[in-house]
């Protein structure tokens, strides 16, 4: 197996385990056993569990953004596309293995001193806000720049709240609620 293929196997395996069972609750031994590799192999690809955590976050982020873009861009521009953001979330919520937001989950598990991981998480969220802003720019070009940014932040806030709360309660209403608020904001 190619070097990079092993690396990807590790990331995929770790991602599933970290996301499903929690970062601290998943031991290195579990990862290597599931990935079918030796312990030192893991440490030759990632110099610490934290570094693997970083790779996990990036992997989830990349996969998410791709799925998100694909879904949303498939919807006609305009307000429809904006509210489709929450349709996407509903699908995400209903998909097998939904476990809330990896960023929120992970930030609770790591000590404050681990600046690099916390920065990674902030960056992801900021990038997601940019993605939302671009969708707005595309879909609602008539809005003033300031208004666009404000709306992006609002939708971001609703989205994040809906992820957390639908997960916490195990119920879909927070997503519906977020979407209904979104429609009001667009009115």
Partner DNA sequence: AATGAATGAGCGTTCATTCAT
Partner DNA sequence: CATGAATGAACGCTCATTCAT
- The residues that touch a second copy, with contacts defined as CB under 8 A, are 21-22, 24-25, 100, 103-112, 121-122, 125, 150, 153-154, 156-158, 160-162, 164-165, 168-169, 173-174, 177-178, 180-181, 184-185
User: Which residues here bind DNA, judged by CB under 7 A?
Assistant: 1, 3, 6, 24, 26-30, 37-41, 43-45, 47-50
Closer to DNA by Cβ: residue 28 or 186: 28
Residue 109's binding partner, choosing from DNA, a second copy, none, with beta-carbon cut-off 5 to 8 A by kind? a second copy
Backbone angles phi, psi at 170, to 5 degrees: 70, 30
Long-range contacts of 25-29 (CB under 8 A, 24+ apart): none
* Whether 53 contacts 106, CB under 8 Å: yes
Whose Cβ is closer to a second copy: residue 75's or residue 104's? 104
Q: What is the distance between the alpha carbons of residues 60 and 42, in angstroms, rounded to a whole number? A: 19
Q: How far apart are CA 70 and CA 182, in angstroms?
A: 21
């Amino acid at each position: 197996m190619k070097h990079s293929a092993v690396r990807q196997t590790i990331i995929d395996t770790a991602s599933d385990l970290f996301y499903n069972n929690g970062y601290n609750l998943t031991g290195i031994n579990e990862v290597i056993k599931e990935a079918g590799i030796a312990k030192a192999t893991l440490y030759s690809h990632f110099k610490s569990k934290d570094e693997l955590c970083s790779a996990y976050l990036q992997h989830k982020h990349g996969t998410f953004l791709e799925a998100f873009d694909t879904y949303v861009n498939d919807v006609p521009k305009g307000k429809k596309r904006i509210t489709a953001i929450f349709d996407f979330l509903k699908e995400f919520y209903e998909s097998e293995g939904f476990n809330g937001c990896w960023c929120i989950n992970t930030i609770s598990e790591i000590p404050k001193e681990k600046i690099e991981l916390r920065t990674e998480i902030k960056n992801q969220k900021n990038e997601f806000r940019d993605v939302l802003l671009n969708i707005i720019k595309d879909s609602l070009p008539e809005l003033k720049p300031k208004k666009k940014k404000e709306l992006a932040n609002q939708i971001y806030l609703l989205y994040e709240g809906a992820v957390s709360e639908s997960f916490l309660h195990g119920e879909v209403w927070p997503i519906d609620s977020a979407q209904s608020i979104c429609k009001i904001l667009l009115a």
